[in-house]
Amino acid sequence: MRRKKNTMQQEEFINKPGKTGISRLIDATSYSRQGLLASWRNEAAFRQEVTLAIFLIPLALWLGESGVERAILIGATLLVMVVELLNSAVEAAIDRIGPERHPLSKIAKDTGSAAVSIALLLWLSTWGCILLPRWLG
């Protein structure tokens, strides 16, 4: 009986009614815009990362010696913002649950923060590995 219930839930998900085609794409674009604006308004770290990216992306285009280097430098920069957005989503969901402290809420928020830290380390090491050898030798 349990297997049949899971199969029915999967079919409902797969056959979920809703918009398709261009109207779905328009809605998805609107939701993405709303998410970016909410993060911009509510997250100082996201504003700082966007501001840095405004300078770093043109710098990556200028300093990268090949298309691959440019893509890696830009990708590492954008990855920091992606992880920050996901961290903000986790924090918002946890805060929505309630203001009381709970060990699982702390783990979720701390893990999101750790993910941002790792993305920043990846960014730093990527830029360092590509640019430092040129400047040092």
Assess whether pLDDT exceeds 90 at residue 13. Answer: no
Q: Which two tokens stand for residue 29?
A: 């674009």
Region 47-69: mean pLDDT is 97
Q: Which two tokens stand for residue 59?
A: 């710098």
CA distance 105 to 49: 25
Query: Of the listed 11, 12, 65, 84, which one is catalytic?
Result: 84
Counting residues of the chain whose pLDDT is more than 70, the rounded percentage is 88
> Is residue 58 exposed (0-12), middle (13-18) or buried (19+ Cβ within 10 Å)?
exposed
Average pLDDT taken over every residue of the chain:
91
pLDDT class of 11 with cuts at 50, 70, 90: low
Q: Which two tokens stand for residue 79?
A: 């990855």
Is 84 one of the catalytic residues?
yes
pLDDT class of 135 with cuts at 50, 70, 90: confident
Q: Which two tokens stand for residue 92?
A: 């918002």
pLDDT class of 2 with cuts at 50, 70, 90: low
Domain residue spans of the chain: 1-42, 44-137
102 is known to lie in a ligand binding site = yes
* Class of CATH domain 44-137: mainly alpha
Assess whether pLDDT exceeds 90 at residue 54. Answer: yes
CA distance 19 to 25: 9
134 is known to lie in a ligand binding site = no
Q: What is the pTM of this model?
A: 0.81
